Structure 1
Amino acid sequence: MRTGLVIYSSSISRLTEFYCHVFGFEVFEKDEPYALLMAGDVELVLLETEISKKAFSLDKARDDTPIKPTFFVDAPLERIGQKIEEKGGAVYPPKNWDFGGRQVCDAYDCEGNIFQLRIGKNA
């Protein structure tokens, strides 16, 4: 089964650059109000709307959002954390915990959208 996620954005270009740089997504299709990114069987749609432009605050994480996407990565936490910070995001302290035999941590992107990282066993 393929899976997908839609994230509302105040800046398509900035958020596209973040997810391509950090997680290796590739731009499959892009127009003024949206971008379709692909990585393996995951489809990520970034959608820019007038409401999202007004609602987003770039100076902090949006911890009131009731959903948290999870990205499974094979890179060490230090390396993926550096990539996140290079593009305006951050990794939350405490840095990590274990869940299901994997190292796990929360982070947020350049627009404050919170996500979870699950670090592969071979990372």
Structure 2
Amino acid sequence: MKAKFSDVILYVQNVKNLRKFYVENFDFKVLEEDDIWVLLNAGSVNIGFHKIGEKYLKSIDPNHQFDNNTKIVFEIDIDIESARKELISKGVSMREIKTFENYDFMLCDGTDSEGNVFQLKAKKTTSI
């Protein structure tokens, strides 16, 4: 069997907030949406946000941010420092820029409105 990665789906509290976050900050295009679901095109992979089932939502504080072991990585084509500053100016929580020895990319982690971790990744030739 040959498989091709096409979509990643995260179960979330507020689909509309995450739709707004990723459309406004990364200019992703909406492919599908309804009250409990949105699918965004993020280049070669689509990102879906699906509302958590009601029985789980009832036991969660609405302001709770989830801890998880997933990180969504976005390769960008602009200076990473400029991208980081732009997101910070919009109130997005961003960590410091970092890299590793013998690695061709600069990296910077941030969190979306529900605490999901994302990473910006830029070639060192187009970054600081």
TM tier, shorter chain? 0.7 to 0.9
> What is the CA RMSD across the aligned residues, in angstroms?
2.5
**Matching residue's letter, 1:107:** G
State the alpha-carbon separation in 1 of the partners of residues 50 and 105 from structure 2.
Answer: 31
- Assess if the C-alpha contact under 8 Å between 1:21 and 1:83 holds in 2: no
1:73-107 CA distance string (max 9 Å, x none): 11222332244345553111xx1111421111111
SS at match of 2:121: strand
Q: Which runs of 5+ in 1 are unaligned?
A: none
State the alpha-carbon separation in 1 of the partners of residues 24 and 5 from structure 2.
Answer: 22
User: TM-score under structure 2 normalisation?
Assistant: 0.75
Moved over 6 A (4+): none
Q: 2:107 aligns with which of 104, 107, 113?
A: 104
User: TM-score under structure 1 normalisation?
Assistant: 0.78
Q: 1:22 aligns with which of 25, 33, 40?
A: 25
SS at match of 1:71: strand
State the alpha-carbon separation in 1 of the partners of residues 69 and 90 from structure 2.
Answer: 24
Instruction: Identify which of structures 1 and 2 has the higher relative contact order when contacts are C-alpha pairs closer than 8 Å and 6+ apart.
Output: 1
**Matching residue's letter, 1:105:** C
Task: Report how many aligned residue pairs link the two structures.
Answer: 119
Number of the residue aligned with 1:119: 122
State the alpha-carbon separation in 2 of the partners of residues 11 and 87 from structure 1.
Answer: 19
- Assess if the C-alpha contact under 8 Å between 1:58 and 1:112 holds in 2: no
SS at match of 2:47: strand
Identity, in percent, stands at 28
Q: 1:13 aligns with which of 13, 16, 35?
A: 16
How far is the alpha carbon of 1:59 from its aligned partner?
6.7
1:80-95 equivalent positions in 2, closer than 5 A: 80-85=83-88, 88-92=91-95, 95=96
State the alpha-carbon separation in 2 of the partners of residues 23 and 39 from structure 1.
Answer: 8
Q: Which runs of 5+ in 2 are unaligned?
A: none
**Matching residue's letter, 1:24:** D
